[in-house]
Homo-oligomer: A and B are copies of this chain.
Amino acid sequence: VVESWSFLDTVESNFRPLVVIELAKGTKEETIEWFTKRIVDKKANGGAQLLIKPLLMEDGVENIYLVGASHLRLLLGAETVGLVKECSDNSMRAFTYSSRKTFKDFADDNHNFLTMAECQYIIKHELENLRAKNEKMIPGYPQVKLYPGKSIVRRLLTSGILVQIFPLHDREELKKLRHSWYGRVKVGYQPLDDIRCYFGETIALYFGFLEYFTFALIPMAVIGIPYYVFAWEDYDKYVMFATFNLLWSTVILEVWKRICAILTYRWGTLLMKRQFEEPRPGFHGVLGINPVTGREEPVYSSLKRQLRIYLVSLPFVCLCLYFSLYVMMIYFDLEQWALDYHKENESNVSSLMLYVPSIIYAVVIEIMNRIYRYAAEFLTSWENHRLESSYQNHLILKVLVFNFLNCFASLFYIAFVLFDMKLLRQSLATLLITSQILNQFAESLLPYWLQKRYNRRMKKRMCSQKTDRDLSIAEQVTLEKEMGTYLGTFDDYLELFLQFGYVSLFSCVYPLAAVFAVLNNITEIYSDALKMCRVYKRPFAEPAANIGVWQLAFETMSVISVVTNCILIGMSPQVDALFPDSKMDLVLTVALVEHLLLAIKFIMAFVIPDKPRDIQMKLAKLEFESLEALKRQVRSFQMQL
């Protein structure tokens, strides 16, 4: 029914499919016609001015559409979303169509000036900003209401008419990327710039952080090895190791900010102006006037949200924390009971019984984490945050606090209540190693295997001899639309965060933790890369200037680790022996050292600039230029008088 409408160019050969739209099966003709009309309509008429083509699938059902855009349209869209690109003089500037000639590699016939990920981001932005004009409802679905200014795509998504929108993979590019990323075993850096070109800044920053963090852990691992090899137990060596760790962790977190600034400056996102945030799709409320935009949109009282947060969510989180502690106490009781049982009737069965409580506890922790995650997501979306960013922050905070307690409470209990360093070391090692193995399996290898099996089955059904490259668009879409959706970097960062906790919180008890972390992270890079390239649908690129709230989370962890390490060192028998006369002196010394370390940490964080000097200079130069331009404008106006 629908042909490739276009007003800017109608040459069929120019159409390059970028984004796939899947409508629900049986969507009414009327709706499809209206929706596609809006997508191709001129900007002046309130359309998105994109290109759209129906995709004829084998089974004859016509519910999948390919969206593309003309080269010119994409360049204008790049200006709208505020993309920052490199100029011929190597400075970074916001792209504008009128100044396009000054940009590096720009040529009217160079269709690679914008990366495919950028094109897809622009199309996503244009689709999401396709807004209702005077429509009161989606044509064909009177129950799905619209109001002027409401994003049509978001409404279609929440009502289920639109199943999904996802960007297409570029099989050639992906193959190249796979090869340079994990295709050969090599020592060296990841191709971060290529990853960014293909997957966007958020994901590239995650891999950048993962790589940086792995390199940063190497000194700790190297220093940690002799402690294990020579079984050093001297207190002074532990103190040195812990002190090094604490200062090192501050330094690496500060230096990361600088590296992050270098990366995002090169990628243009450091300079990118924040777009005005629209309400998130799930946000609901009484229709009112937004005081900021003056537009009609759902309004929800901030007081009500605060009440929900403080009167429901907060108590619920506290209850969950309490429950987690309670479960932990049951675990210790079980452990004790198993030990007693083993002592009473010593047998093979009873010695096996010794492991049962740990296994049960590990399983229960995992189950609790999952259930809690759902509860947290439910609660946070019930809190009805207007902005996606605010939703994310509240969700991350809830999950972080619970995961932190759930994973580390037993270790804290062993360390500071039972005072059993042997058991602490043993539990730490078990928890760290098993969690790493489980994670890698559940996160990448299992989905990879499932995906592979599905692919094989699909390919067999379609045409058995074809290689990857010869797949038609229809076949590619059929394969990709069934792939899992990558839900963002949250879980990946969470894993790193917990690992950082295992490494730093009790580093003076188990120096080998850093070694395991390094080994894990090296394989993690590969398995995460595999996951991104093979398992999931291509995600939309998302510009990011830093790792956001995770920087704060890691910094908080490093502050907590100062406290725990100081206490652990203070409790070690070697240090104890140094103060034979007075326990008081010991405690006071430990407290003094702890405060000094904390003070040094804060001073270091304050003294190390967040951005390297040359980035600072470049930013200052841009600011200066824009001020000068403003002044020139004023001056030229004055001269006219």
Complex CA gap A310/B613 in Å reads 18
**What per-residue 1/0 map shows which CB atoms of A612-641 lie under 8 Å from chain B?**
010001001101100110010011011101
A293 near B: Cβ within 8 Å?
A: yes
Structural contact, A98 and B637, CB atoms closer than 8 A: yes
Asked if B97 and A637 make an inter-chain contact with CB atoms under 8 angstroms apart, the answer reads yes
A262 within 8 A of B: no
Interface 9-mer from A109-117, A263-271, A333-341, A583-591: A583-591
Q: A583's closest neighbor in chain B, by CB?
A: B584
Task: State the main secondary structure of chain A at its contact with B.
Answer: helix
CB-CB under 8 A for A276 and B591, given A292-B617, A584-B584, A634-B80: no
Interface presence of A377 (CB below 8 A): no
Chain B residues whose CB sits within 8 angstroms of the CB of A14 once the complex forms: none
Chain B residues with CB below 8 A from A595, complex form:
563
Whether A292 and B634, one on each chain, are in contact in the complex, defined by CB atoms closer than 8 angstroms, is: no
Query: In the complex, what distance in Å separates the CA atom of A595 from the CA atom of B634?
Result: 55
Contact A79 B624 (CB under 8 A): no
- Of the four ranges (under 10, 10 to 19, 20 to 34, 35 or more), the interface on chain A belongs to 35 or more
- Look across to chain B and name the residue whose beta carbon is closest to the beta carbon of A82: B630
Q: Hey, which chain B residues are within 8 Å of A639, CB to CB?
A: 43-44
* Docked CA distance A195–B276 (Å): 37
User: Nearest chain-B residue to A586 (Cβ)?
Assistant: B584
Chain B nearest CB, measured from A335 CB (Å):
26
- Chain B residues in 8 Å Cβ range of A587: 584, 587-588, 591
Q: Does A472 contact B (CB under 8 A)?
A: no
- How many angstroms from the CA of A587 to the CA of B43 in the assembled complex? 71
CA of A572 to CA of B390 in the docked complex: distance in angstroms?
Answer: 46
Quick check: is A604 within 8 A (CB to CB) of the other chain? no
- Give bound CA distance, A44 to B632, whole Å: 11
Q: Contact: A638 with B43, CB < 8 Å?
A: yes
Are A634 and B584 CB-contacts (below 8 A) given A617-B291, A627-B276? Answer: no
Chain B residue with minimal CB distance to A635?
Answer: B43
User: Whole-angstrom distance between the alpha carbons of A621 and B621 in the complex?
Assistant: 28
Per-residue CB contact flags for chain A residues 152-181 toward chain B (1 = under 8 Å, else 0) read 000000000000000000000000000000
Contacts of A637 in B (CB 8 A): 97-98
A434 contacts B by Cβ under 8 Å:
no
A635 to B77, CA, bound (A): 10
A215–B185 CA distance with the chains assembled, in angstroms: 68
Measured CA separation A595–B292 after assembly (Å): 41
The answer to whether the Cβ of A446 comes within 8 Å of any Cβ in the partner chain is: no
**How far, in angstroms, from A624 to B620 measured CA to CA in the complex?**
24
Residue in B44, B273, B276, B302 whose CB lies within 8 Å of A613: B302
Give per-residue flags for A131-143: 1 if the beta carbon is below 8 A from chain B beta carbons, else 0.
0000000000000
Does A345 interact with chain B (Cβ within 8 Å)?
no
Check if A76 is an interface residue, CB within 8 A of chain B.
Answer: yes
- Residue of A98, A583, A588, A591 most packed against chain B (CB within 10 A): A591
Q: Which of B43, B273, B588, B624 is the one whose CB lies under 8 Å from A276?
A: B624
For the complex, is A312 an interface residue (Cβ under 8 Å from B)? Answer: no
Interface residues in A481-532 by Cβ distance below 8 A to B read none
- Nearest CB on B from A319, distance (A): 19
A583 to B627, CA, bound (A): 64
- Report A635 CB to chain B, min CB distance, Å: 6
Q: Is there a chain B Cβ closer than 8 Å to A275's Cβ?
A: yes
Closest chain B residue to A42, Cβ basis: B639
User: A638 to B273, alpha carbons, bound, how many Å?
Assistant: 21
Interface assignment of A330: CB less than 8 Å from any CB of chain B: no
Excluding A96-B634, A275-B627, 19 further A-B contacts by CB distance (< 8 Å) are A72-B641, A76-B638, A79-B634, A80-B631, A80-B634, A97-B637, A273-B627, A276-B623, A276-B624, A276-B627, A292-B621, A583-B583, A583-B584, A584-B584, A584-B587, A587-B587, A587-B588, A587-B591, A591-B591
A-B contact pairs, 10 of them (CB 8 A): A43-B635, A76-B634, A76-B641, A276-B624, A276-B627, A276-B628, A292-B624, A293-B621, A302-B613, A583-B584
